[in-house]
Amino acid sequence: MSQVTTTDLYEITMAMSYLNEGMAEDATFSLFVRELPPGRGFLVAAGLEPALDYLHEFEVTPDDARVFAEALHRPPADLAPLVGLRFEGEVRAVPEGRLVFAGEPLLEVTAPLPQAQLAETYLLSLVCHQTAVASKAARCVLAARGRPVVDFSLRRTHGPQAGFQAARLGGMAGFAGTSNVDAAVRLGLAASGTMAHSYIEAFDSEEDAFRAFARTHPGPVTLLVDTYDTGRGVATAAEVLAGLGRGPGCAIRLDSGDLGELAHRSRAQLDAAGLPDVRIIASGGLDEYAIDDLIRSGAPIDVFAVGTRVGTAADAPYLDAAYKLVAYDGRPVMKLSSAKATAPAPKQVYRRPGAADVIALRDEDPPPGGDPMLRTVMRDGRRTGPPDSLTAARSRLDADLGAVPAGARRIRDPQAPVPAVSERLSRLTEEVRRRLLAELDGTGTDGGTGGQHRPAPRRP
């Protein structure tokens, strides 16, 4: 079976019904975030590249259909109409690394209705998780103010795949490296790591451990100094490094306690030992808030290693995101539910220098100076160009961060920009709303949509 089976059950039941009813005209679904999480002034679009990989390979196989049949307790023959279903549609999306705000589509999928529906769960899972983690990682880089940040999150992420994604997203955000060997090699990132407390404990003394480690690794080494007593650990590390002539490029790592105070003490000890080039790496529960506090306190920390809180986006681990039908067979549709209403029709987002973004209809002319955010990245089920690179995504992120209002970049109490809505989109939204309410009331008027409402096609 394929990744197609990694889906919610109702995607299958709806797709079966669509096929049974002959409803296979083009549908457009829009994936967007309703509201930014608390403490966020922006989101970083991420997850598009693996999403395109998924759609490119999307095909319901006979094995997949058997899995669906088992889940539904139905005869396999009932699921036969799904066999061979491939993704043959179009994807328009915001490229990875760009900043996005509430209500703005991160991507829109246009494809025959059963295909677009079956893609929902996997796309939401990919884009939401990775956008949340990328946004957290970008804030860590902002907080570090030019000092390197490295990813140590693999052991605490919600599974190895999430750990790989966290390493990739850290690379996109500008991290200097990752402890994840697989990700480092596959993505061309710098591998970064030191030693564990268990290594120190396995030897008779810290000094024995440090000397043994240095013998095995003749280049620059990083020594973990807080297994027992940090002050004594720093003194021992300084003695070993100085005795071996291994100062430049080497480092000590602080992993617990008051990192700011310990960093000041450690810097003084290293300088007194004639080791001003030995760096201090800090780890242990760090995220953008802790990094910001340490920087503001003047802590002489050279590198920040972030793990659990960043790899899981601990303070904002999910997004209030949706994948909603906005058009079917040329007919704009919307949801009216209280607090969860949606806007109809395919859209475009225009970014304007020095002004709010504009969410508009797809076919609208851009406002003055407006740059379209959503680009066509897949057509007829195939990519329109080669896979994007982390370098390109990082460049886009750097550019957007440089242009966004300073209030959005604040680590604490950020102020997120609020996109504007075009007049045409506002007017269409009201027309569709009136038409739907009229249908609910039984009047059957079209609410001024220009006759765009047509019955869904039915199979004879």
Exposed / middle / buried, residue 412 (Cβ in 10 Å: 0-12, 13-18, 19+)? exposed
pLDDT band at 443 (very low <50, low <70, confident <90, very high): low
- 196 C-beta neighbours (distance < 10 Å), count: 12
The domain spans of the chain are: 3-133+316-441, 142-311
CATH for 142-311 is 3.20.20.70
pLDDT at site 451: 38
Question: Which residue did the predictor score with more confidence, 448 or 56?
Answer: 56
Share above pLDDT 70 across residues of the chain, in percent, rounded to a whole number: 96
Q: Which pLDDT tens digit goes with each residue over 362-407?
A: 999 999 999 999 999 999 999 999 999 999 999 999 999 999 999 9
pLDDT at site 460: 29
- Report DSSP state, residue 20: H
Per the CATH hierarchy, to which homologous superfamily does domain 3-133+316-441 belong? Answer: nicotinate phosphoribosyltransferase (3.20.140.10)
Residue 449 has pLDDT above 50, yes or no: no
Give the helix/strand (H/E) hosting 129: helix 120-144
pLDDT at site 444: 56
pLDDT at site 100: 98
Q: What mean pLDDT do residues 8-23 have?
A: 97
Amino acid at 243: G
Q: What is the DSSP string of 210-274?
A: HHHHHHH--S--EEE--SS-HHHHHHHHHHHHHHHT--TT-EEEE-SS-HHHHHHHHHHHHHHTT
Q: What mean pLDDT do residues 334-348 have?
A: 91
pLDDT at site 24: 97
The residue length of the chain stands at 460
**CA 134-135-138 angle, 5° bins:** 85
